[in-house]
Amino acid sequence: MIGVISRALSSMTSTWPSVLLIVLGAFYVFAPIADIASDHSSGLPADHHAAFQKLGGISWTAAMSSAPGVARRDLPLAMPRG
């Protein structure tokens, strides 16, 4: 009886950390994908709109329509070193 309980506990203790690590790892995969999708659709992640308006004094959509050169979406992610 004790052997059965011991085996059950050892399998549980080796399984739940693995499941926890997989779930936590999924956040590291899902978050960047969601940010890239949001960047592609509006040019700015949805959770950054309030910060942009507070710091810039203008909403993101107003900035895009009034100064399209400033709010360009086709800029490269990193500037080449030369």
* pLDDT by 10s per residue, the chain, length 82: 666 666 666 666 667 788 888 889 998 998 888 878 877 777 777 788 899 899 989 888 888 888 777 666 565 555 555 5
Domain ranges across the chain:
7-66
Q: Which two tokens stand for residue 23?
A: 């779930």
Long-range CB contacts (within 8 A, 24+) of 73-76: 73/39, 73/43
Handedness of CA 61, 64, 70, 71 (dihedral sign): positive
Residue with the two structure tokens 């790892």? 25
Of 40, 37, 41, 60, the closest CA to residue 50 belongs to 60
Q: What is the pLDDT of residue 54?
A: 93
Q: For the whole model, what pTM was predicted?
A: 0.45
